[in-house]
Chain A
Amino acid sequence: MSATPNSTSESGNKTYEQIREDLIRPLHNNSFWNQVWIRFLIIVIVLGAVAYGHQLIKGLGLTAMRDYSAWGMYISNFVFWVAVSLIGSLISAILKLLTQNWANPISRISEMIALGAITMAGASIVIDMGRPDRVLNIPLHGRIQSPIVWDFFVVNTYLVISAILLYLPLIPDIAILRDRMTKAPKWQRKIYEVLSIGWQGTQEQWRLLKKSIRIMIILILPVAFSIHTVTSWLFAVTLRTGWHSTIFGPYFVAGAFVAGSAAVVIAMYVFRKRLKLQDYLTDHHFNMMNKLVVLTLLIYLYFNINEYLVPGYSWKRLDGDHLQELLMGHEAPLFWMTQILGMVLPIILLLFKPMRKPLPSMVIALFVLIGAWIKRFLIVIPTQFHPQFPIQNVPEHFTHYIPTYTEIAVSLATLAGALLIITMLVRVFPVVPIWEEAHDRGIHKIFKAEK
């Protein structure tokens, strides 16, 4: 991966003012379709909220979860959202520490996705609770031995860190917006005024800011790894076949990078099209980003082989039953579709450069992302139908799990919620960091505030 952007040849001759205006322009553009999109998301959220309200009154009986499949779609959503949120740390922290400067323009996209996803991860866990009114029992009576308490702590911490990491590099940009967006509505100007915290671009301020960012991108790494490792431990610490695996931590983290990278590719495509950022989110970025997708997929493939080959080889009693069902039985179509369309085929396709162009790679990323969600579904649910003792003396529908409309509506609402958070962030803040973009293009002036 090269740090020299070939984009300089296409648009390297832009001046700072041009860059600034290009990146601010989308914020003025409150188009019809944008309005429709936001209203659509709100409707989906309201429908989900109604379904959830119904569930609150009637109980979790409205879902398809029962005593054997006690965890269902909500928990797989939770795992999925945690996974997607990890991308913030991968792009802004890991790539930055590795001085992969090509990723600078997409770091903010990944941080926005991370913030939206982690918020919905928190929401998903509350949605899944039988007694959400008692959520405060976790801080009040928390048992430090429980992975849920670790998760509760680490999700909240990660939410805060994600928000800070999104905010810090935004400060100079917000200062620019404060000075440029004089025609914006009052509430928007107020946001810029407050959040720019009097940024003047002095040398001392730059020093302090760069130091803060540096600290945060280091801090986010252990927290990001813990959040998904702890999430995997919710399963791995139990004595259940298919869950009780020592590689679940890295397996989940690897899978998370896959899901997050795919989400970033899709977001890049959408923003490039909708916000007309072809000069900033170039083919080069797609090329590099998709190479990253292949890398993460390959790591994930490696863990997948470990995860299925080892128990499949020894074929212990319950492991055998579980894998029989997964690989050859009832779950097999879904499983193989996910593994092939969501992992193997994308690896092969993305090895070819034309496939790493924006449109094809976005389509592939969609498959990868949907596959990532189904994969979590397949990790969470089938295991629960393989307890130590046979399932007997319960109604027939206790022995399988097909999500109900309530669950689907609520889940879609969390998806809409994440998208709405991202949409609103993009409405208010530039999706590509202005100062970083200029800096990477060799404009080395320190941005004093313009009065």
Chain B
Amino acid sequence: MKNKNQENKNDSRRSFLKSSALLGAGAIAGAGILSSCSNEPESSGEKIKLLTASGELVEVDPSQIKKLRKEKLSELQERGREGLVGHHWTMVIDLSKCKNARKCMAACQGAHELLPYQHHINVLQMQDAKSTSPYYMPKPCYHCDNPPCTKVCPVNATFKRKDGIVLIDNERCIGCRFCVAACPYSARIFQWHEPDYTEEERNRIYDIELNVPQKKGTISKCLFSADRLRKGELPYCVSACPNGVYWFGDKLEDAVTNGTTKETRKFSELIKENAGYTYFEDLGTKPQVYYLPPKNRTFDYEPKKKFLEEGEYPEDKG
């Protein structure tokens, strides 16, 4: 239906919660109970009644839920750190198609539970020189092959996976923000405030591939929607674009698919035909996001002064 992103997001969350009946129950019904019970001694012998996702009522020991949560977390961490081995994800952004509709930003912020001014992907209004034509440029994380950010991380909380994605682990991050300082592309954001979650939402099991729930004092950034890739789906931003700006795929199998038209093309051909390039190659970061030049544009450039008016930032008054 219309709200594809919303639905996908809910889908992912739903399947995520269902992944284990008991665990699902723990996450849905037990999160609140859990927090209230966490102070009790583990061998209380007390049972908690939980409704499983399949509708059965079961009795479990509170410590059981805790253990399962831990197991689930470490399982997610493990596969999240390993990545989808045998792939090398890449994105191609066709600047001639972008009209600054910002559906990508909205879909991304919805999926990763970000505020309107927190950007994993940011559509910039660019003009390379006074005499040159301005254009819109969506800027996600470039998932560099020589990433300056993961180089400097002191605790391996941001790392490059075997499929090329630069991921973050907010169960590990110490919040030193060295990676923010090191990234020349301003791809990283920091959770300066406590995210406005309910107790229940905050207690969800941390999904490293979605970076949700967001955590105060840690980093967030574009993850190429690692959770969607695992399911064989295109990233949130890619599938939300109405104008065919984004191509996404696996460089190793030399194929990229357009998120709007679902057309699949050879990556090498697409880049060759359209003179694709990456930004600031001279920095030696080897970005994995390619751009096609803004030639023969579908839309005219209309400058937009402000993203949001001042005072529309609900949390951050500075």
- Chain A residues at the B interface, C-beta cutoff of 8 Å: 58-61, 63-68, 70-71, 125, 128-132, 134-135, 137-138, 140-143, 145-149, 152, 234-235, 237-240, 384, 387-398
Contacts and interface: CB of A to CB of B under 8 A. Distances in A.
Contacts of B280: 388
A280 to B, nearest CB: 44
B153 interface: yes
Contacts of B148: 238-239
Given A143-B153, A146-B153, A392 B307 contact: yes
Nearest to B116: A393
Contact of A395 (B151, B177, B218, B316): B316
A67 B188 contact: yes
Contact of B178 (A58, A60, A146, A393): A146
Contacts of A147: 152, 178
A122 B285 CA distance: 32
Given A70-B180, A142-B155, A59 B185 contact: no
Contact of A70 (B151, B190, B318): B190
A384 B173 CA distance: 21
B193 A59 contact: yes
B186 A67 contact: yes
B263 interface: no
Interface string B150-164: 011111110000000
B122 A393 contact: yes
Contact of A128 (B152, B176, B186, B310): B176
B155 A393 contact: no
On chain B, which size bracket covers the interface?
35 or more
Contacts of A142: 154-155
B99 interface: no
Contacts of B156: 141, 143
B186 A64 contact: no
Contacts of B124: 389-390, 392-393
Contacts of A66: 190, 192, 316, 318
Given A67-B186, A138-B154, A238-B152, A58 B177 contact: no
Interface string B304-318: 000110100101101
B126 interface: yes
B12 interface: no
Contacts of A145: 151-152
A137 B174 contact: yes
B125 A392 contact: yes
Nearest to A63: B192
A235 B126 CA distance: 27
28 contacts: A59-B217, A61-B193, A61-B315, A66-B190, A67-B118, A68-B186, A130-B173, A130-B191, A130-B216, A130-B218, A138-B154, A141-B155, A142-B155, A143-B153, A146-B153, A238-B184, A239-B148, A239-B182, A239-B184, A240-B182, A387-B186, A388-B279, A388-B283, A392-B307, A393-B119, A394-B117, A394-B307, A395-B308
Given A61-B193, A238-B152, A393-B122, 20 more contacts: A58-B193, A58-B194, A59-B191, A59-B193, A59-B216, A60-B217, A61-B316, A71-B181, A130-B177, A132-B174, A134-B173, A137-B174, A138-B154, A138-B155, A240-B182, A387-B186, A389-B124, A389-B186, A391-B186, A395-B313
Interface of B: 117-119, 122-126, 139, 148, 151-157, 172-178, 180-182, 184-186, 188-194, 216-218, 279-280, 283, 285, 307-308, 310, 313, 315-316, 318
**Which 5 pairs of residues, A with B, have the shortest CB-CB distance?**
A130-B175, A130-B217, A397-B318, A61-B192, A148-B154
B221 to A, nearest CB: 10
A234 B216 contact: no
A247 B152 CA distance: 20
Contacts of B182: 237-240
From A63, A70, A239, residue with most partner B Cβ within 10 Å:
A70
Nearest to B151: A145
Instruction: Tell me which of A240, A388, A394 has the highest count of chain B C-beta atoms within 10 A of its own C-beta.
Output: A394
A129 to B, nearest CB: 5
Nearest to A384: B181
Contacts of A60: 175, 190, 192, 217
B165 to A, nearest CB: 18
Contact of B174 (A131, A239, A389, A397): A131
